[in-house]
Amino acid sequence: MRVPETIQSIKKRLEQGEVTDSFLAQLKQDERVGVQKLVASYLRKREQERKEAARLEEMWRFERMFREKGCRLIAGIDEAGRGPLAGPVVAAAVILPEDFDPTGLNDSKQLSAEERATLRKRIENHAVAIGIGIVDTDFIDTYNILQATYEAMRRAVNNLSVHPEQLLVDAVKVPELPIPQHAIIKGDQLSHSIAAASVIAKTVRDQWMIEQAAHYPQYGFEKHMGYATPEHLAALAEWGPCPLHRRSFAPIREMAQKVERTTRSTG
């Protein structure tokens, strides 16, 4: 009588990918509960991998569409920092090669800091070109955050080392750019080029805010990156705004008005 393979041995083979259709069919007939659990886990993992591969392939759809029209230098554009109360808005423009490995690439907000750091290295090592645009708080307060976002995107495109033939932009069309544009709603989830730009913009901005935290340690910028967290709002209530804060944004503006009213009433 043939001795059944041990559950530990089966687990090792499944983990190493040593699985043929006949072996899987044999395992499905195995009545041991432990084996059935291993089979179910293996099938779930295989289905997840299939879905992820399909997602990654679908995210080349817009790039393929424009490559079929003859475009080879396609830049994805995205920004980071429209919502925070402090710090700049940062945009990135990224041109990926056709053979870029997109494993793990997604909207930067859905990734951990470690995943973003790993992807940033891969993008920087393999991208055809990367352009960064940074627009400071003074510009934001003078012209508003939308105009500052457009300006950051224009600077990012202008800082590319090669001239793109087509732009894929997350959600918007950027004024005053003489290059064909295609706006994609939720583009950082639908285009690898935009997702790559999202990762670059987010990591560049986070790094900038962490560096600034050393100059303004009381605000905790290295933790919240300038967003309106309870910790940040509490620090603002205690210390008031610093030069990095956007005085055109409601919480900062209202705080300044309150201080002004208090000053007048006690003056």
Our count of domains for the chain comes to 3
Q: Is 244 helix (H, G, I), strand (E, B) or coil?
A: coil
Asked whether residue 142 falls in the same domain as residue 260, the answer is no
pLDDT range class, residue 255, cuts 50, 70, 90: confident
| pLDDT recorded at residue 160 | 98
| pLDDT recorded at residue 265 | 63
| pLDDT recorded at residue 3 | 53
Structure tokens that stand for 28 in this block: 């499905």
Asked whether residue 142 falls in the same domain as residue 167, the answer is yes
Domain of 114, CATH number, reads 3.30.420.10
Asked whether residue 35 falls in the same domain as residue 93, the answer is no
| pLDDT recorded at residue 214 | 97
In this structure, is residue 1 part of a structural domain? Answer: no
Asked whether residue 86 falls in the same domain as residue 198, the answer is yes
pLDDT range class, residue 266, cuts 50, 70, 90: low
Q: What are 64-90's pLDDT values in tens digits?
A: 999 999 999 999 999 999 999 999 999
d(CA 262, CA 163): 54
Asked whether residue 187 falls in the same domain as residue 66, the answer is yes
| pLDDT recorded at residue 263 | 59
In this structure, is residue 78 part of a structural domain? Answer: yes
Q: What are 15-53's pLDDT values in tens digits?
A: 887 788 888 888 888 888 998 999 888 889 888 989 989
| pLDDT recorded at residue 16 | 85
Q: What are 137-146's pLDDT values in tens digits?
A: 999 999 999 9
The larger pLDDT score, comparing residue 22 to residue 259, is at 22
Q: Is the pLDDT of residue 187 over 90?
A: yes
In this structure, is residue 116 part of a structural domain? Answer: yes
In this structure, is residue 180 part of a structural domain? Answer: yes
| pLDDT recorded at residue 1 | 37
d(CA 114, CA 81): 19
- Domain extent, residue 252, equals 217-266
Query: How, if at all, do strands 166-170 and 129-135 pair?
Result: unpaired
Mean pLDDT score of the chain: 93
Q: Is the pLDDT of residue 181 over 50?
A: yes
Asked whether residue 51 falls in the same domain as residue 87, the answer is no
Asked whether residue 148 falls in the same domain as residue 44, the answer is no
Q: Is the pLDDT of residue 147 over 50?
A: yes
Model pTM score: 0.87
The average pLDDT across 88-105 equals 97
Asked whether residue 260 falls in the same domain as residue 139, the answer is no
Q: Is the pLDDT of residue 203 over 60?
A: yes
Q: What are 153-173's pLDDT values in tens digits?
A: 999 999 999 999 999 999 999
Encode 5-41 in three state secondary structure.
Answer: CCHHHHHHHHHCCCCCHHHHHHHHHCCCHHHHHHHHH
**Residue 170 annotated in ligand binding:** yes
Asked whether residue 101 falls in the same domain as residue 133, the answer is yes
| pLDDT recorded at residue 4 | 72
| pLDDT recorded at residue 167 | 98
Q: Is 259 helix (H, G, I), strand (E, B) or coil?
A: helix
d(CA 63, CA 52): 18
Q: Is the pLDDT of residue 121 over 60?
A: yes
